[in-house]
């Protein structure tokens, strides 16, 4: 049965996401009426996804391979969306959040990799890993939310969009939520850097090694910090905020996913 779970989970995610593409003229009322069963289906997908992650991550030791790590981050991203949607009604965002999650569920099944973490018994490393995963997931959610804002802004100005969705929250509400997410993600990213330096000091007697991952993580931290500072001092918003958010996310993606992909998938280290 476990062999079919990735396909069932991916199907659930894609089915719920496709519900917003099948009828672009869906009214806001019908969207809210269908949100209950959609939330229920997403909860089922999250539960099945969690089972897959548990069996993949902890089958022997902590297997934090490229596909396992990204699948975990996307699981957390979907969970953040699912929880946030109860209050802010971000129904259209499921069309951005769920397809990547479905992709990495299938990739985890089709490209199984093994990368056993040698420091899994260290409490400081466990804390660092949990904080980092939460930071990456929140900033992934922020990037997807920024893409939704781009589509909403183009629709507001009657411009053609590459995606047609039935409803959007008010742009001011979306922008406020974006900066709340980025602020929390930035705090967690700061704690990730601090805990990483503490762990490196404990293990290697060196607080900060200038590796590819660390350099790009610091650059991403500076970009998101600059965005929050620009928001506070200069009132940055709209397209400026979206560009900075997406730039910071791409740099963060290069820091973590890029380094893991090169080392594990290409170089098999």
The residues, any chain, with a CB within 8 Å of residue 67's CB and separated by 6 or more, are 104, 107, 108, 111, 112, 113
Task: Encode 178-187: b = buried (16+ Cβ within 10 Å), e = exposed.
Answer: bbebbbbbbe
Residues 6+ apart with CB under 8 A from 132: 188, 192, 195, 196, 256
Give per-residue pLDDT as tens, 14-58.
Answer: 999 887 666 545 545 555 556 778 899 999 999 999 999 999 888
Phi, psi of 63 (to 5 degrees): -100, 90
Q: Are 82 and 37 in contact (CB under 8 A)?
A: no
The rounded distance, in Å, linking the Cα atoms of 261 and 267 is 9
pTM of the predicted model, to two decimals? 0.88
How distant, in Å, are the alpha carbons of 26, 60, 79, 183 from that of 180? Answer: 29, 38, 17, 5
Contact (Cβ atoms closer than 8 angstroms) between residue 102 and residue 10? yes
- pLDDT of amino acid 269: 52
pLDDT tens readout for residues 111-126: 877 778 877 788 888 8
Whole-angstrom distance, CA of residue 99 vs CA of residue 128: 28
The pLDDT tens digits of the residues spanning 167-213 come to 667 788 889 999 999 999 999 999 999 988 887 777 666 666 777 78
* Nearest CA-CA partner of 63 in 110, 101, 112, 109: 112
Instruction: Give the residue carrying structure tokens 């099944």.
Output: 109
């Amino acid at each position: 049965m476990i062999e079919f779970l990735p396909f069932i989970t991916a199907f659930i995610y894609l089915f719920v996401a496709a519900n917003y593409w099948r009828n672009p003229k869906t009214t806001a009322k019908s969207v809210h009426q269908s949100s209950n069963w959609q939330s229920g289906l997403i909860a089922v997908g999250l539960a099945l996804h969690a089972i897959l992650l548990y069996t993949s991550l902890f089958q022997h030791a902590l297997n934090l391979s490229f596909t396992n790590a990204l699948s975990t981050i996307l699981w957390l991203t979907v969970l953040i969306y699912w929880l946030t949607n109860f209050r802010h009604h971000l129904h259209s965002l499921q069309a951005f959040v769920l397809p990547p999650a479905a992709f990495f569920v299938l990739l985890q099944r089709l490209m199984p990799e093994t990368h056993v973490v040698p420091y899994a018994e260290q409490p400081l490393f466990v804390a660092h890993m949990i904080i980092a995963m939460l930071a990456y997931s929140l900033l992934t959610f922020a990037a997807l939310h920024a893409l939704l804002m781009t589509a909403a802004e183009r629709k507001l100005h009657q411009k053609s969009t590459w995606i047609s969705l039935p409803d959007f929250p008010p742009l001011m509400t979306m922008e406020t939520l974006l900066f709340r997410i980025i602020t929390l993600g930035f705090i967690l990213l700061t704690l990730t850097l601090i805990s990483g330096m503490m762990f490196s000091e404990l293990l290697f007697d060196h607080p900060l090694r200038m590796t590819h991952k660390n350099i790009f993580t610091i650059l991403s931290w500076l970009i998101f910090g600059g965005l929050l500072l620009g928001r506070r001092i200069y009132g940055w918003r709209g397209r400026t905020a979206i560009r900075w958010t997406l730039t910071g996310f791409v740099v963060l993606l290069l820091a973590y996913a890029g380094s893991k992909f090169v080392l594990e998938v290409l170089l098999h280290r």
